Structure formats: structure tokens, C-alpha cells
Amino acid sequence: MRNRVIVSILIGIVLAGTYLLGYFVSKLFMDALITIVIFFSVNEMRKALKDKMPKEFNPLLLTYSLTVGLPYLKLGFMGVVYYTLLIFGLGATLAVFKNIHLDGLMHFAFILIYPGLTLSSLFFINNSPLASLGLAIVFLVSTMSDVFALVFGMLFGKHKLAPLISPKKTIEGAVGGLFGGVVGGFAVFLVFEIFGILGPGFFAWGLRKSYTYLSYALMAVCGSCLTQIGDLVASLIKRSLGIKDFSRMLGNHGGMLDRVDGIMLNSCFVSLIFTFIVL
């Protein structure tokens, strides 16, 4: 438990430090951290699939995970999408000439999307005009959802949420997680819209108050739900592969994927909201 707390603190320090460097110095610091996260996540998923992932795809996955952020610098998020399709095309060509079975190609495509393309939505948020707000929403809503779900589950959990996928998760914990997401969203609302700390919010951007309230409500409630669904998706994958954690990179916390599984779908949703507001 002590090691778990220490690792949690270190993760928080790295994330907070990179967030502040991105705000006060350059967004490239957060872009670099996102790239690191994608690299380790892709590598963990590749290793978790073991024999199901043909080794011929390893160079392509390595290249993709390290360079997926570069197309964004010139073409925006569509550049990332096109780059992902290009890498898949190269993989499909390789499958033809190396006589790789269709299952291998499908697992390759799966990794490009999950976690590759999914986590790449963070590039869009980080390089938007309201980057600080978007990142705060993603990380705080997801974190508070996880924390409240854990606490509520330990204190009140009686009814299983998805026993065949994750036996320890309960309906009471999920309700607590939803409440935690709302608390996280409200905290971000206070910081950015009421006190105006750490950059402009939707009010300063010129969005009508009614739309601002609706946006925060959607990002808090839906973000919390998607965080918990993302966690269940990761549990489903691990159970299907017969593993407890994707790796032991972070000790008792598991691997990088075990830490970011909740934010992946949440970041995609926040990106969708931002697409309609800041573009």
C-alpha cells in the first residue's frame, strides 16, 4: 500500500509539472508526455497479445508510437488519422507478402486504434485554444471518478456491476464514480469560469452561459461514465488474455495502460465537445 501511494504521488507530480510547463512555457512538453504514454501503452498491448501479434509488425508499431504526434504539428488531428491509416496500409501490405493470417492483421489494427488513435485525441485537446481547460477536465473528471468509485465501492459496495469482467466493481462504486466525476467537473468550472485561474474558460471564449453549463454537465457526467466504461473495456481485454495487469512498469499500479485506460474514451468525448466549441 505504501509503494502504491508513493507511485501515485510521483505520477501526480509528473502530470502536474508537465501541465504547468505546458501552460507557462510550451505545449510541446505535454505533447512529449502524451507521446511517451502512447509509446508505452502500444508496447504493453503488443506484449499482452503475445503470439497473437506477429513480430513482423513490431517495427511499424514502434515507429507509429514514437511519431504519431508529428503529423498533428502540420495537419492537425486529421493528420494523425491519415498517418494511422498509412501505417495500417503498410501493415496490410506486409501481411500480404509475409502471408500473415487475418487475425494478426486485425490485432495490429486494434492496437493502432486502441490505444494509439484513442490516446492521440489528447494531442487535439492539448493544442486547442482552451488546452488548459480541456486537459483539466479530462484528468480531473477521470481521476475523481476513479477515486470516488474506489471509496464508495469499499464502503457501500454490495451489488456487482459486471461480475464476469471485473468481480470487484459494484453498482454502488459506479454511482460514487459518477458523483466524483461531477465533483471534478464542478471544481474545473470554479477554477476556470468563476476564478479565471490557469487560462480562459468557455465564458472568456464567448460561449453563452446556457451552453457552458450544458457543456460542463455533459463532460462531467458522460466523462465519468466513459471513464468507468474504459476501465471495464481494459478489464475485458485483460480477462480475455488471461493477465492481471498489462505490465509491472508502475509496480502495484500495473502498467501505463492500467493507469490511462479510463481517460482514453473520456478524452475522445472531450475532443468531440471541443470540436463544436473551439473550431
For residue 73, name the pLDDT band (cuts at 50, 70, 90): confident
pLDDT for 6 beyond 90? no
**Mean pLDDT, residues 165-191:** 95
**pLDDT (0 to 100) of residue 278:** 76
DSSP 163-184: TTTEEEEEHHHHHHHHHHHHHH
Q: Where does the pLDDT of residue 3 fall: very low under 50, low under 70, confident under 90, or very high at 90 and above?
A: low
pLDDT of amino acid 196: 87
| Structure confidence at residue 48 (pLDDT) | 95
Question: DSSP code of 113?
Answer: I
For the stretch 78-132, pLDDT in tens is: 999 999 999 999 999 999 999 999 999 999 999 999 999 999 999 999 999 999 9
pLDDT band for position 205 (cuts 50, 70, 90): confident
**Angstrom distance (rounded) from CA 99 to CA 54:** 11
3-state DSSP call for residue 98? coil
CA 30 to each of CA 7, 68, 89, 103, 130: distance values in angstroms, whole numbers, following the listed order: 20, 14, 29, 35, 14
Residue 246 pLDDT > 80: yes
Handedness of CA 238, 239, 241, 243 (dihedral sign): positive
Which residue is listed with cell 460542463? 216
Residue 231: pLDDT over 80: yes
Arithmetic mean of pLDDT, 133-153: 94
- Mean pLDDT, range 151-175, rounded to an integer: 93
- The set of residues, in sequence order, having a beta carbon less than 8 Å from that of 1 and lying 6+ positions away, is none
Torsion (CA) 36, 93, 265, 165 in degrees, nearest 10: -100
Q: Provide the terminal-to-terminal Cα distance of the chain, rounded to the nearest Å.
A: 44
CB 226 within 8 A of CB 269: yes
In this structure, are residues 197 and 191 in contact, taking their beta carbons and an 8 Å threshold?
Answer: yes
Using pLDDT thresholds of 50, 70 and 90, give the confidence band for residue 60: very high
Question: At a CB cut-off of 8 Å and minimum separation 6, what does 214 contact?
Answer: none
- Residues 6 or more apart whose Cβ sits within 8 Å of residue 4: 251, 252, 253
